[in-house]
Amino acid sequence: MRITHFFLILATAVIPVFPGCSRSASEELVVGMELAYPPFEMTDESGNPVGVSVDLARALGEHLGREVRIENISFVGLIPALKTGRIDLVISSMTATGERAKSIDFSDPYVQTGLAILARAGGGIERVEDLNKEGRTVSVKIGTTGHVYAQEQLGNARLLVLEREAECVLEVVQGTADAFIYDQLSIYKNWIRQQDTTKAILEPFQKEAWAVGLRKGNDTLRLQVNEFLATFRDLGGFDDLGNKHLADMKKVFDDLGYPFVF
């Protein structure tokens, strides 16, 4: 008798009680981004999210009349987080690519940029094709378009797939990689800090556009976001963002003759 009682209790304890992942119909809009990409996604001294994408997200929230919550997720984990419903939107300077579009939907693009190269000084790299040779080593950040490009186009080179931008740069600075492939803005910023050991080839060898990421089939929200982006641009919102976060960069790019991101 006692044994059967024990069994029953064990059975009921083992039946898992998992709360569902659905959010209540509160109007909270959860936006995912990797807060490791200044000045677009970063944190202030107290650890609060700040940056271009943060401001953009909050402006979107205002426009839609919804509370915005920022979730800090590593770049490569953003799409999975979107798919499981942990976040509603990805606003993380993510390039809209055909490959990604198989998994998620994208809004209209809001930034024009491209892939550039941070090369080892004296390494003899002039163009991206120079990297596609035996014996060349290229560092990339995992999950980025640089990573995809290197995998598809630089088959002869050895690929170092790292998790953080800082490590990718370090490999180039120390000479254990010939180049780092990443977006134009970041390449420029890193070159400024490491002018002795690196060289920047800023002409983008692949043009890219950033867009907001949404779950597949979430058309209502997508149309709302597109509407917001158009309105925001007309109202000069992007110019304001540019002046607030990217003033010095804007000047440099104007001098160099590159079109500025917005």
Binding site for another protein (CB under 8 A): 1, 3-4, 14, 16, 18-22, 76-77, 79-80, 83-85, 100, 102-104, 139, 142-143, 147-148, 151, 160-163, 167, 170-171, 174, 176
Smallest distance from the beta carbon of 93 to another protein, in angstroms? 16
Rounded Cα–Cα distance for residues 115 and 109 (Å): 16
Taking the least distance from each CB to another protein, the nearer of 3 and 25 is 3
Smallest distance from the beta carbon of 74 to another protein, in angstroms? 10
Taking the least distance from each CB to another protein, the nearer of 147 and 245 is 147
Report how far apart, in Å, the C-alpha atoms of 151 and of each of 96, 147, 202, 257 are: 18, 6, 20, 30
Taking the least distance from each CB to another protein, the nearer of 176 and 231 is 176
* 94, 211 contact by CB (below 8 A): yes
Output DSSP code: residue 37: B
Taking the least distance from each CB to another protein, the nearer of 59 and 212 is 212
* 240, 55 contact by CB (below 8 A): no
Smallest distance from the beta carbon of 195 to another protein, in angstroms? 20
| Residue 133 in tokens | 């040779």
Smallest distance from the beta carbon of 124 to another protein, in angstroms? 18
Rounded Cα–Cα distance for residues 235 and 49 (Å): 24
